[in-house]
């Protein structure tokens, strides 16, 4: 589970979603926005994409676990929203991890 200091609240979520810069990869679309302090992130899996809530939660838990272990790779003062694509439904943990690292590097260089 994400600590409260790393979660995106509803107001910030809407702001990042509307104003954030977009990056894309094989399994994710990422919205990124600079914030005043901290590192915040969220994972979104559409219910229309994946009907089973257990499978949606599994994907989100995998993403959160990867980012919790690698918080140092996230740029300071950044809010990130990871939107899962359909291709990610059948992906393995290692593939998701590799894709997240790719997007974090892309965000650092932007």
- Residue 14 sits in a domain whose CATH number is 3.30.230.10
List the beta strands (DSSP E) in 13-77. Answer: 21-24, 28-34, 39-44
Tally of structural domains, the chain? 1
Backbone angles phi, psi at 31, to 5 degrees: -105, 130
Measure the CA–CA gap between 33 and 24, rounded to whole angstroms.
Answer: 15
Please report the pLDDT score of residue 2 as a whole number: 67
By the 8 A CB rule, do 1 and 18 touch? no
20 to 33, 83, 103: CA distances (angstroms): 5, 13, 14
Containing structural domain, residue 51: 4-109
Please report the pLDDT score of residue 72 as a whole number: 84
Q: Across the 110 residues of the chain, what is the mean pLDDT of every consecutive 10-residue run?
A: 80 93 93 91 91 92 90 87 91 92 84
Please report the pLDDT score of residue 3 as a whole number: 73
Please report the pLDDT score of residue 1 as a whole number: 64
Measure the CA–CA gap between 62 and 93, rounded to whole angstroms.
Answer: 7
């Amino acid at each position: 589970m994400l600590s409260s200091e790393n979660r995106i609240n509803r107001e910030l979520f809407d702001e990042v979603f509307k104003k954030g810069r977009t990056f894309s990869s094989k399994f994710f679309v990422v919205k990124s926005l600079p914030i005043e302090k901290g590192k915040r992130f969220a994972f979104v899996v559409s219910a229309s994409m994946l009907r089973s809530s257990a499978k949606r939660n599994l994907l989100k838990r995998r993403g959160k676990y990867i980012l919790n272990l690698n918080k140092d790779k996230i740029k300071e003062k950044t809010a990130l929203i990871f939107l899962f694509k359909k291709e990610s439904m059948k992906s393995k943990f290692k593939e998701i991890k590799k894709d997240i690292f790719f997007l974090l590097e892309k965000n650092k260089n932007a």
